[in-house]
Amino acid sequence: MKFFADTANIEEIKELAETGLLDGVTTNPSLIAKTGQDFIKTIENICSLVEGPVSAEVTALDHKMMIVEGEKLSKIAPNVCIKVPLTWDGLKACKALSSSGININVTLCFSATQALLAAKAGASFISPFVGRLDDISGNGMGLIEDIVNIFNNYPDTLSTEVLVASIRSPLHVLESAKLGADVVTVPPNVLKMLASHPLTDKGLSSFLADWEKTGQKII
């Protein structure tokens, strides 16, 4: 499974990149607005820190302007992945941009049939939002299971990767991995939570206490 960071914060991305665990980054207008920084410059900076895909989202609503914005954003760096919404115009833009060799992340997916359409339109990634479905008493992980199963039925014709978005907890990551999703895009705080366990902390404290008793030092 690939780990993407769901953030536009440069310092957070730098720290995560140092671990070697980061395979890409997803951004959106809301995340970039929180930084208070220039949109284009922020994407450029992120692309310089991460070798994998960096999702940059268009803001237009009609497909012709989505294509224009997507083409402009794709020139920022070779690893830019254009993010378009799962609307009828978004699907048109996805088809046009992907046909010209640009990687596309179709976002705001809330049904398996939407995911199937995006895959048919040439999306590199489809982003189902599990947390937002759970918020309205939907079944976010059930959606992931449906999409993975459908895509697995057509391995010779559908190459779109399932990118689980709107991750709220480590459990979402665990369930996504068990279901065979290709990617999870995770807020930095949740990604760090994956490494935490009270028994790890307890065991480390015990080891250090015993080591202290020896009076020895490695350096």
Q: Residue 48: give its domain's CATH number.
A: 3.20.20.70
Examine residue 104 and state whether it is found in any structural domain, yes or no. yes
83 has catalytic annotation = yes
In DSSP terms, 24 is beta-bridged to 4
pLDDT of 112: 98
Examine residue 61 and state whether it is found in any structural domain, yes or no. yes
Look at residues 155, 163, 152, 156 and name the one whose alpha carbon lies nearest to residue 123.
Answer: 163
Q: Is the pTM of this model over 0.75?
A: yes
How many structural domains compose the chain? Answer: 1
**Do β-strands 24-26 and 161-164 pair in parallel, antiparallel, or remain unpaired?**
unpaired
Marked catalytic residue, from 14, 34, 64, 83: 83
pLDDT along the chain (219 residues), means of 10: 97 95 95 93 96 97 98 98 98 98 98 98 98 97 98 97 97 98 97 95 96 94
Instruction: Copy the structure tokens of residue 56.
Output: 């940059």
pLDDT of 166: 97
Domain that includes residue 128, residue range: 2-214
Examine residue 146 and state whether it is found in any structural domain, yes or no. yes
pLDDT of 179: 98
Q: What is the pLDDT of residues 6-26, one digit of tens each?
A: 999 999 999 999 999 999 999
Examine residue 219 and state whether it is found in any structural domain, yes or no. no
Examine residue 160 and state whether it is found in any structural domain, yes or no. yes
